[in-house]
Amino acid sequence: MRRFLTILFVLEASLSFAQAQTETVFAKWEEKVDPAVERGLEYLALVQEDDGSYPGSYGNSCGVPALAGMAFLSRGHLPTEGVYAAPLNKIIDFLLSRQDRAGLYTGGQYGSGPMYGHNIATLFLSEVSGMVDPDRQKKINESLPRALALILRAQAVDKSERHQGGWRYHPNSRDSDTSCSGWALMALRSAKLNGADVPDQAIADAIAYLYGNFSETNGHFGYSSPHNQKNSLTGMGLLCLELCGEHGKPSTIKAADFILESFRSLEGAQFEFYGNYYNAQAMFQIGGKYWDTYANWMYDTYLKTQKDDGSWPSREAGTVYGTAMMTLAFTVPYRQLPIYQRDETVDEE
């Protein structure tokens, strides 16, 4: 009994230390981050169309509204109460209205094909499930299984060995890329955490696909090989590994070390907002010096780039996308989205 109590005390002390360390890092920036996030959310609510879509690049796709919805959730806002309940419910209704007979959330394309938007919409609806009113919950309960089934069918399409386990632009694509696959894997993982019947093998196959695009020597992930777009995609690969139980393995430390050495090259580069979003999520999962170093750089670099209207424009995908992605990166320490919860022992050294 005494040994059990000692173990329990040590565990509780470790958890408290880890949480305190993370909060200490964020405490330096909280007074600036909180109002910046709120101004970003105010912008996302202000420019939203009546039907829940958004103006500008990809705003009528399913991907960008879903990202905006995740941004509202990331600050702890709910679709049942509060100042952002109406924008959240508009997004939910918009996405549910865009599902076709095959289960695909479709419409204006986000990226080069509908699977990007579909995966992000599935992720958002999985995250918001359980937070909505009974009528919307019933609709989500009917919609999500069809959306997940489509993701699983798209993964099971006959592909060459190099592409097996992944996803690409269309449900019937016979090749894969890590960017689209990352969103699909997070959608499956979120749904599984929420009680959906997602086969373990589907997640294992997706992880195997990602490892096929990982450099064991240098620690980076690429888009269609270990080497292309590595600065913007290594955070994606690392986050997916962390969320799927690969924490503490040599590959995750190598990936974190690569980001630690290379992240400053993101500023002004192609896919800057995308890379920052994934790096922030991934480095928070790793914790310790990785999150400390990255968070200090991120907040110092991007707080001052916010526009007077609260937005962060992205040259690749527009202002709504940029604002949603930067908000999601900034709100990592709030720990509101279930998919991004982490093991609080990660800061132990």
20 occurs within a structural domain: no
Q: What is the mean pLDDT of residues 286-313?
A: 96
Same domain, 118 and 264: no
pLDDT band per the 50, 70, 90 thresholds, residue 339 = confident
The answer to whether the CB of 273 falls within 8 A of the CB of 304 is: no
The percent of residues in the chain predicted with pLDDT above 70, rounded, is 89
Q: Assess whether 219 and 185 both reside in one domain.
A: no
Residue 288 lies in a domain: yes
User: For residue 137, what is the enclosing H or E element?
Assistant: helix 134-155
**Would the pLDDT of 283 be above 50?**
yes
Q: Nearest-5° angle of CA 204, CA 206, CA 212?
A: 105
100's tokens: 């076709």
Pair (234, 333) in one structural domain: no
How far is the C-alpha of 146 from the C-alpha of 191, rounded, in Å? Answer: 12
Query: Is residue 345 domain-resident?
Result: no
Q: How far apart are CA 26 and CA 275, in angstroms?
A: 20
Same domain, 219 and 77: no
- Residues 155 and 163: their CA atoms lie apart, in Å, by 9
Q: Which residues pair with 214 in a beta bridge?
A: 221
- Quick one: how far is CA 339 from the chain centroid? 8
Residues 187 and 293 in one domain: no
Mean pLDDT across 151-177 = 97
Q: Same domain, yes or no, for 45 and 167?
A: yes
| Domain annotation covers residue 348 | no
**What whole-number distance in Å separates Cα of residue 324 and Cα of residue 42?**
11
Closest to 35 in 3D by CA, of 329, 337, 280, 330:
330
d(CA 172, CA 165) in angstroms, rounded, equals 13
According to the model, what pLDDT value does residue 110 have? 67
The whole-number average pLDDT for the span 130-156 is: 98
Domain count, the chain: 2
Q: Determine contact, residues 47/90, Cβ cutoff 8 Å.
A: no
Mean of the per-residue pLDDT values for the chain?
A: 90
Residue 222 lies in a domain: yes
- 18 or 207: whose pLDDT is higher? 207
Residue 153's domain is classified under what CATH number?
1.50.10.20
Q: Which residues on neighbouring strands pair with residue 99, listed in sequence order?
A: 105
Nearest to 105 by CA among 72, 147, 134, 145: 147
Q: What is the pLDDT of residue 113?
A: 85
Residues 147 and 243 in one domain: no
pLDDT band at 8 (very low <50, low <70, confident <90, very high): very low
- 292 occurs within a structural domain: yes
- C-alpha torsion 256→17→127→266, nearest 10: -30
Per-residue pLDDT at 27: 81
Contacts of 156 (CB under 8 A, 6+ apart): none
Collect all residues with Cβ–Cβ distance below 8 Å to 243 and sequence separation of at least 6.
186, 189, 285, 339, 340
Instruction: Give the domain range for residue 223.
Output: 213-305
Instruction: Mark whether 79 and 115 lie in a shared domain.
Output: yes
pLDDT band at residue 16 using 50, 70 and 90 as cut-offs: very low
Does 344 reside within a domain? Answer: no
Looking at residue 198, its pLDDT comes to 96
- pTM here? 0.91
Contact 140, 147 (CB under 8 A): no
Over residues 261-267, the mean pLDDT reads: 96
Q: Do 78 and 100 belong to one domain?
A: yes
Average pLDDT over residues 113-121: 95
Q: Which residue has the tokens 């912008």?
A: 43
Between 207 and 25, residue with greater pLDDT: 207
**Cβ atoms of 147 and 121 closer than 8 Å:** yes
21-69: per-residue pLDDT in tens? 556 677 888 999 999 999 999 999 999 999 999 998 889 999 999 999 9
In this structure, the answer to whether residues 317 and 300 fall within a common structural domain is no
pLDDT on residue 337 = 85
Same domain? 332 vs 294 = no
Length of the chain equals: 349
Q: What angle do CA 221, 62, 213 make, to 5 degrees?
A: 10
Are residues 83 and 38 part of one domain? yes
Q: Cα–Cα distances in Å, from 54 out to 58, 214, 228, 295, 319?
A: 8, 35, 31, 29, 10
Residue 14 has pLDDT above 70, yes or no: no
pLDDT value at position 23? 61
**Domain-located, residue 186:** yes
- What is the spatial distance between Cα 339 and Cα 115, in angstroms, rounded to a whole number? 20
pLDDT for the residue 107:
77
Q: Which candidate, 173, 166, 170, 175, places its Cα nearest to that of 214? A: 166
Distance CA 122, CA 118 (A): 6
- Across residues 202-229, what is the average pLDDT? 96
